[in-house]
Amino acid sequence: MIDKINRSHFYNLIMKSIKGFFIKKYIRSPKREWLRYDSVFMIVGLIISVATLTIALAIFEGYETVLKDTIIGANSHIYFFDDRDGAMNEAKKERAGEFLDNKDEVVSYAPVVISQAMVTYGDRLHGCILRGIEWQKDELPVEYYRFISEGTGALHNANDAVLGFNLARKLNASLGDTITISTPLATSVTPLGIRQNNLQLRVVGIYRSGMHEYDSNYLFVDLETAQAFTQISGYSMIEVKLSSDHIDRADYLSYLWRHELDGAYHISSWIDFNEYLFSLLEMEKWVIFIIFSFLVLVASFNVISSVSTSIMEKRRDLGILKAIGYPNSFLKNLFLQRSLILAFISIVLGIIIGMGIAVILANQTLLLLQGDVYFLDSINIRFNLFNTTVVLAVALLITFLTTLIPIKSITRLNVTEILRNN
Amino acid sequence: MYLLETINLKKSYREAKGKLEVLRGIDLQIEEGDIVAITGDSGSGKSTLLHLLGLLDSFDSGVIKYFGETIDIKGKQISEFRNRKIGFVFQFHYLLEDFTAEENIAMPALLAEKSFKRSIEKARDLLRYFDLFDRKDHYPNELSGGEQQRVAVARALVNEPDIVLADEPTGNLDERHSEELLNLITDLNKERRQTFVLVTHNKEIATSMPTHYHLEDGLLHKYKE
């Protein structure tokens, strides 16, 4: 055996620990003890529960991250409204512009006109949110060009329009089609009767952000076209994009600027509109984690059964080892470490299998989310080191605690009784 | 000074019918380098006495002294004491099935030496002495009954204990292997002054040993021819 030990430095390192030697011998016993059914139940139980937990966390993390990315991307981060709840005039827009030009946190800003309208194509009719934007700007405060999935985002002609992906599908409209928008707000009375304000637009691009709500409602046109159509003399609001370091403190900045501008504007942030959603998601993620941790707890009952069976089977060995002087603490440690090694391997396998299944789920098209309920219609996953570490630590802790229960019996084993009865 | 001494050692078991007094006051003195045989009928308490001498079990009253020092059976260091000072040989060899012959022999030394290499070297020396070196990598079930028992004796000797306690060491062996084992024990006694306590029901074996006690009615009597 010494010849064998000298052959391998790695083997030498393992052999330095007597416990390691025992555990190795027991795990690699010619009887393949760890392949017994109770050990298999323990391993499979841990793998399934940890895989489930990993999948659940990956989906929740992915959902939260993608939703946040999309909301932050498709929207600007701070909104300047007129303090009188009406349209913002040119002078106020200029003043806000001067203020924002001096702010380091600001990446870009632009005025926008927003109004509700009806859109028709052929015999189909749908409500929409009309967004008049300064599409010529190099950097818009919202991710607009990134989400153009077909055609172009450039609105060179006054009647060019970009249609949300789901809205286009509902209308059965595609690139090059002419759609009509109308609004009852801007009707006028003429000698010939009431004239409905209609505008014919040509679809030049399709917008697809992944957010069901936006893709089902948005219709983008040039800012001036929107102003003329809605008869808004001014702007609905100014949208502000912050640099990435400041996105998460948008609510604080909006509060600060409101005071710096002496309340001349009503200023809100993306956090004000979505705070509860993200708090809820964060809470739900941990609720799911706790619930699925119970799966690991249930699986760890197999650990109790496996370790108990193992102690029963090794009763004779334990009696002999006790007789030749091995203390209870050594023997208990032996079973604890053996159990933790098997659990560690099972948990790591569970995490790997869970990640694999999560990747498959994210790439399949059979099971999709209901976009109108969950905002997003695809399953997104994200893995992060923190979640993986928490899963590993919690599963190991549960295994550790459940192993402590059966190994107590080692202390109670009566050596003389074992020697007599065997 | 005696290597091992017991004074008025008593041991009883609680049973459904009441208290069963197995040892009713054992006075025993064992000198270094002696071979002490203890005989007695089945159920007379021979094994119980051996377990008490080996500090494996607690007793009701009395004293056990090693080299004049009273031993506290409930002491924290009792496992370590047993490991260093006492060797055990049991009737059914009691080797660990998952370990090879040399690993089984090295087992007590792993604790004492805290070195895998030194423990295995000591085990190999004993394997050579017992003419079992070519069987070093064999598992217990690959060894004959005689070889198993020799490995068990080697395991008992690996930490060079003060005393080896053997419970019916030949009980499971045929005549030839029994004789071989007894010769080995007497050789070890002569060559290394190894002290042995043999519990046996075989009077012939017992009478061939330098000291012979007989256990009857819970009391020990020195046997006189």
Q: ipTM, 2 decimals?
A: 0.90
A326 vs B51, B79, B84: nearest CB? B79
Question: What is the distance between the alpha carbons of residues A6 and B121, in angstroms, rounded to a whole number?
Answer: 14
pLDDT at residue A358, as a whole number: 92
pLDDT in tens, chain B (225 residues): 889 999 999 999 888 888 888 899 999 999 999 999 999 888 888 889 999 999 998 899 999 999 988 988 877 788 889 999 999 988 787 898 888 999 999 999 988 877 788 889 999 999 998 888 999 999 999 998 889 988 998 999 899 999 999 988 887 778 888 888 888 889 889 988 999 999 988 888 888 888 999 998 889 888 755
Q: Which residue of A has its CA nearest to B99?
A: A25
Residue A5 has pLDDT above 60, yes or no: no
Element (H, E) at A278: helix A270-313
Residue A7 has pLDDT above 60, yes or no: no
Record: contact A320-B111, CB cut-off 8 A: no
- Burial class of residue A179, CB neighbours in 10 A (0-12, 13-18, 19+): buried
Record: contact A419-B56, CB cut-off 8 A: yes
Record: contact A422-B79, CB cut-off 8 A: no
Q: Hey, is the C-beta of A3 within 8 angstroms of any chain B C-beta?
A: no
Query: Has this prediction a pTM greater than 0.95?
Result: no
Q: Hey, is the C-beta of B100 within 8 angstroms of any chain A C-beta?
A: yes
pLDDT at residue A34, as a whole number: 54
Q: Which residue of B has its CA nearest to A317?
A: B96
Q: Which residue of B has its CA nearest to A415?
A: B56
Q: Which residues 6-65 on chain B approach chain A with CB closer than 8 angstroms?
A: 47-48, 51, 54, 56-57
Q: Which residue of A has its CA nearest to B117?
A: A2
Within 8 A by CB and 6+ apart from B95, the residues are: A320, B101, B104, B140, B148, B151, B152, B155
pLDDT at residue A333, as a whole number: 87
CA dist list (Å): A166 to A120, A124, A234, A372:
14, 13, 30, 11
Q: Hey, is the C-beta of B118 within 8 angstroms of any chain A C-beta?
A: no
pLDDT at residue A33, as a whole number: 56
Using 50, 70 and 90 to split pLDDT, how confident is the model at A4? very low
CA dist list (Å): A29 to A1, A14, A35, A317, B183:
16, 16, 10, 13, 35
Q: Which residues 92-151 on chain A approach chain B with CB closer than 8 angstroms?
A: none
CA dist list (Å): B200 to A208, B10, B46, B166, B206:
92, 21, 8, 9, 7
Position A278, amino acid = F
What is the least distance, in Å, from the CA of B137 to any CA of chain A?
Answer: 8
Q: Which residue of B has its CA nearest to A21?
A: B116
Q: Hey, is the C-beta of B99 within 8 angstroms of any chain A C-beta?
A: yes
Q: Hey, is the C-beta of B73 within 8 angstroms of any chain A C-beta?
A: no
Laid out side by side, the sheet with B163-167 consists of B86-89, B163-167, B195-199, B35-40, B211-216, B219-222
pLDDT at residue B161, as a whole number: 92
Question: What is the distance between the alpha carbons of residues A77 and A268, in angstroms, rounded to a whole number?
Answer: 9
What is the least distance, in Å, from the CA of B225 to any CA of chain A?
Answer: 31
Q: Hey, is the C-beta of B96 within 8 angstroms of any chain A C-beta?
A: yes
Q: Hey, is the C-beta of B142 within 8 angstroms of any chain A C-beta?
A: no
Residue A12 has pLDDT above 50, yes or no: no
pLDDT at residue A381, as a whole number: 87
Using 50, 70 and 90 to split pLDDT, how confident is the model at A359? very high
CB-CB neighbors (< 8 A) of A24 in chain B? none
Question: What is the distance between the alpha carbons of residues A227 and A225, in angstroms, rounded to a whole number?
Answer: 5
A168-213 per-position pLDDT tens digit: 999 999 999 999 999 877 666 666 666 667 899 999 999 998 888 8
Q: Hey, is the C-beta of B218 within 8 angstroms of any chain A C-beta?
A: no
Contact present, B206 and B197 (Cβ < 8 Å): no
Record: contact A29-B98, CB cut-off 8 A: yes
